[in-house]
Amino acid sequence: MSNGTTSSPIVLALDDSLVIHQMIKRALEPGYQVITAANAVDALSIIYHQRISVLLLDVQMPDVNGLEFCRTVRSLPQFQHLPVIMVTSQNSPFDRVKGHLAGATEYLIKPFDAEQLREAVRKFIGS
């Protein structure tokens, strides 16, 4: 029963919090390979060199905020269809609109539970 894939789908989590990195890994591994990045430069390098299935993106970060990063990713033709899930504590309707306008596919509010995160990722990867 081979579907041509030999490894787990890769999820990239861009967040400046190591605690969030651990929560995401706990929620998604071993079903998915989770790569974490703490800044936009590292994340951009990773999406160029790895085959990312879903990008998890924090909005509030010190260098480049998640909305700017999402717009940058969306401006690159090869990443226009990459599922982007904003993972943020910003929960106003206006924040959600800003997220979607920046190109987010989904919006998940912190604190999230493991099942919410798995469900959001599963929507785009299927498993």
Predicted confidence (pLDDT) per residue in 70-93, tens digit: 999 999 999 999 999 999 998 899
**CA dist list (Å): 50 to 9, 54, 62, 72, 92:** 11, 11, 24, 17, 33
- Domain ranges for the chain: 10-125
| CATH fold for domain 10-125 | Rossmann fold (3.40.50)
Q: What is the largest CA-CA distance in the chain?
A: 46
Q: Say what the pLDDT of residue 127 is.
A: 53
Q: Is the pLDDT of residue 2 over 50?
A: no
Q: Is the dihedral of CA 67, 72, 76, 78 positive or negative?
A: negative
C-alpha span between 39 and 41 (Å, rounded)? 6
Nearest to 44 by CA among 9, 6, 82: 82
